[in-house]
Amino acid sequence: MLLVATPIVFANGLDTVPDKPVYYERTAKGLTRFFYDDRYFLADKDCQFKAIERVGQYDFQQQVFTGEFTDFNYLGRAILKGNYRNGRKEGEFSAYHPNGQLKWVVSYVQDIPQGLRTYYYPDGKPLLEVEYREGGTFIRSFWDQRGRKQVSEGKGKYEFAVEADGYNEFGYVRYIRKGRVVDGRPHGIWGIEYLFADGKKANAGYERYQYGVFQDGYEQFKEESFYDGPRYGVLPADFYVRADAMIGKGCTIDEYSGFTVYLSKHLEEWFDGEVDELPDPVKIEFTVAVKKSGEPGKIEMTGTFPRKRYADLLLEAIGWVNFWFPSFADGDYIDDNLTVSVEAFPDAAERKLRFFDVTIRREKGI
């Protein structure tokens, strides 16, 4: 489904609702323990994808964090410490590697990062210095993994692998950004490489900058290769800022991975520019046979657009999805039938179709 705020449920007391996800529970001394996955989406306390627990004060009336908090990983080790004042980040925030070494430190004033933010490698050596000042964010210093300083006083060569956020159809887990830094900003052509879980790399395109101002971009893996807005970050990903939004996910591989969000976007992009007459809202439902390898087979539509042209476009779009997460049962992946439902709604202002509330049900496995 599309990411929407899911009602929070107490884990103890009379407020517990059966069969509803439990995203937090009260603890001692007026503190609350929240449960997140590794991308800071709320996760049920018993979900296999739960990876982070936040312990701190939360104002349920105002629906904001207040005071000091600490985030712990699944081993119970602190990975982030900080402070809120009236729901806004305030003061020093410190993140830690799993081995306990400082990962980065930055100061906030009313939710806005200030001054210098310093990143460190897991062995404690410096990695990156980013400066927040009037006019934006500037790369001040950068050291490679061998300890060589490649960017000094905002000038030099930069190369960093940014962690991917959510599902992508190409299967990369990180993307490498490399290019020249001038006056603390990207300048010239900045390459993009996809990095896969097995360590393999693939050239994916580039983005071009003029003293930090994006000019254009090119993606090698997509049909619409050229684009006019930045798509790939340069600095390390900050998933923790998502915690304040209190967005919940269901405990399924399809939601945890971001596959349901990807499917919504894929359908919207497929219909973009193809809608000459907006249809009424419609619930779409279909079944797809998926092998244990993730390869899709036969597709059977049980609910679609009444207009044949749109129904044909929808079937074509589904057919272009060449991987589905396979079902799992009895310790192994299995062949299974997946039933997918999605709501299609006309966006009159944009003259587009929106697809949301994607759900995937499995006949045999999980």
Output the CA–CA distances (angstroms, integers) from residue 3 to 41, 139, 152, in the order listed: 9, 32, 41
Q: pLDDT tens digits for 322-360?
A: 999 999 999 999 999 999 999 999 999 999 999 999 999
Q: Report pTM.
A: 0.91
| Predicted pLDDT at 225 | 85
Q: pLDDT tens digits for 140-182?
A: 999 999 999 999 999 999 999 999 999 999 999 999 999 999 9
Q: Which tokens in the block code for residue 115? A: 């001054």
249 neighbors 43 (Cβ within 8 angstroms): yes
Write the DSSP string, 143-194. Answer: E-TTS-EEEETTEEEEEEEEEP-S--TT--SEEEEEEEEETTEEEEEEEEEE
| Predicted pLDDT at 5 | 39
How many other CB atoms sit within 10 Å of the CB of residue 174?
17
Please provide residue 259's backbone torsions phi and psi, each rounded to the nearest 5 degrees.
-65, -35
Output the CA–CA distances (angstroms, integers) from residue 190 to 158, 268, 288, in the order listed: 9, 29, 40
Q: What is the mean pLDDT of residues 311-324?
A: 97
Please, which residues have CB within 8 angstroms of residue 188's CB and are 6 or more apart in sequence?
179, 180, 182, 208, 209
Q: pLDDT tens digits for 272-303?
A: 999 999 999 999 999 999 999 999 999 999 99
How many other CB atoms sit within 10 Å of the CB of residue 311?
15
